Structure 1
């Protein structure tokens, strides 16, 4: 918590300046429509909120959440002019976002820094309606190279990285997980995940929380 509270006051302010194109890509790939409900997981200081609000319009709904109190405080200031935006302080690993409450969700650099990646992804899936979609940009250090070994060690020390492969965990829960650019990067990933639509005939593949 202290790490992310500190980050909220320092480098996250700088990173906000460079997230515009990523936010635009998320909105484009999610194909957000007016009136839809979207969940921003690990919203940080709320840099994605303006783009999400613009996409879903005044009849839509945006819920942004983060674990850090300072991140949430900054995001709430950013979001206060929109009555259809709610910013929550919560732990994505343990929080029930509401069953099938959202048409779409976005997680930018969030899952890999969480202490229980499978649980966070299962909670995200539970929150999506059948057919719901999730846009994920994240660190992925699954391949064993000199570069990734160094980055894994550094990320573990800085952010508590557990070593979980975000893409593999997404594939354990979602019916479809596809790279946005057709190929996977060595250190990062950008993917779209979709929740299954026919739970009645394919219950064996229905998203569920990991055991334990």
Structure 2
């Protein structure tokens, strides 16, 4: 936890300056509508919060959460019309079926119990709810991924869990946002099945616009 508290005061503030494109991609791909409820999992310093608030409007609801107290403190400063919680996504009940959508940007892979965090996210979504995920994916056996796996494990306690595989154990539909996945990262959308009889057509989704 000390690592992420330190990050809140250092490089995360630098990354905030370059997060605009990813934030817009998340909001556009989710297709958020006024009045919806959205959950930001592992919100960090909260760079996405203002765009989520704008997308769902005054009748909507934005809840953001992070397990780092310093991250949360920074995020709360920009959280007008949003709630920011200090919580661990691996063991937190977000509220069953309370959200229309959720987003996790670079969050799940850094958590000690990835399956539990993803299961909690799915539980928080209403039937038909959707989840946008941008994250590290180091499954390819290349020199770059081997080095990054070792570094990520040493620095942040990376468990080695593959976020996409874990999403597919919980969500009925998981699709890439882009036709070609990066060597070390992935961007996917996951949908919670509406009912046990529902079956989705698997066609690659595209960001709006």
| Alpha-carbon distance in 2 for matches of 1:143, 1:164 | 13
1:162 partner SS: coil
> How many pairs are equivalent?
198
2:87 pairs, out of 82, 85, 90, with 90
Aligned to 1:27: 27
Aligned 1:138-153 pairs, distance under 5 A: 138-153=135-150
**CA-atom RMSD in angstroms:** 0.8
Please report how far the alpha carbon of residue 156 of structure 1 lies from its aligned counterpart in structure 2 after TM superposition: 0.5
Aligned to 2:62: 62
Give CA deviations for 1:169-203 in whole Å, capped at 9, x if unaligned. Answer: 0011101111101222110000000000113x47x
| Alpha-carbon distance in 2 for matches of 1:21, 1:143 | 26
| Alpha-carbon distance in 2 for matches of 1:183, 1:121 | 23
Aligned to 2:172: 175
| Alpha-carbon distance in 2 for matches of 1:163, 1:99 | 28
**Structure 2 residue runs without a partner (length 5+):** 199-209
2:78 partner SS: helix
2:117 aligned with 1:123, yes or no? no
Aligned to 2:202: none
What TM-score, normalized to structure 1?
A: 0.92
1:71 partner SS: helix
Please report how far the alpha carbon of residue 140 of structure 1 lies from its aligned counterpart in structure 2 after TM superposition: 0.3
2:100 pairs, out of 100, 103, 107, with 103
1:50 partner SS: helix
Please report how far the alpha carbon of residue 27 of structure 1 lies from its aligned counterpart in structure 2 after TM superposition: 0.5
What TM-score, normalized to structure 2?
A: 0.93
Please report how far the alpha carbon of residue 92 of structure 1 lies from its aligned counterpart in structure 2 after TM superposition: 0.2
Aligned to 2:134: 137
After TM superposition, what 4+ stretches of structure 1 lie above 6 angstroms from structure 2? Answer: none
Aligned to 1:37: 37
Aligned to 1:72: 72
Please report how far the alpha carbon of residue 11 of structure 1 lies from its aligned counterpart in structure 2 after TM superposition: 0.2
Aligned to 1:14: 14
| Alpha-carbon distance in 2 for matches of 1:42, 1:74 | 13
2:111 pairs, out of 103, 109, 114, with 114
